[in-house]
């Protein structure tokens, strides 16, 4: 089973410009692989691509705006993860035994 989709198939499905895809890749917002001179997007990256396409085409957010949004969303995920870790540590009984 393939776990990737070609750039050409993806732009047909989502009806986006190939330059949009290429610009996302150049900015590091998408990670692609290349095989036999064809670029592929891994299935795990499709959600990001779809999110960027919606922001760009539906909300008219330009590429620098997409980069900022991506950075902020990454920071939010990191902070949420740290918050969960701290909550888990605070709920452990052995954490309070040292006091």
The arithmetic mean of pLDDT across residues 84-89, rounded, is 89
* Count of structural domains within the chain: 1
The arithmetic mean of pLDDT across residues 30-56, rounded, is 95
Rounded to two decimals, what is the model's pTM? 0.78
Q: What are phi and psi of 6, to 5 degrees?
A: -70, 155
Does residue 99 fall inside a structural domain? no
Does residue 95 fall inside a structural domain? no
Of 1-10, 20-29, 45-54, the poorest mean pLDDT is in 1-10
The DSSP bridge partners found for residue 41 are 5, 32
Does residue 55 fall inside a structural domain? yes
CATH code of residue 81? 1.10.1660.10
Host domain of residue 16? 4-90
């Amino acid at each position: 089973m393939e776990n990737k989709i070609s750039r050409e198939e993806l732009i047909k499905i989502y009806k986006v410009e190939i330059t949009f895809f290429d610009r996302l890749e150049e900015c590091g917002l998408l990670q692609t692989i290349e095989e036999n001179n064809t670029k592929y997007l891994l299935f795990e990256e499709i959600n990001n691509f779809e999110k960027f396409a919606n922001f760009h085409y539906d909300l008219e957010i330009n590429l620098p705006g997409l980069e900022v949004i991506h950075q902020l969303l990454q920071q939010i995920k990191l902070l949420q993860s740290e918050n969960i870790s701290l909550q888990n540590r605070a709920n452990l009984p052995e954490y309070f035994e040292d006091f």
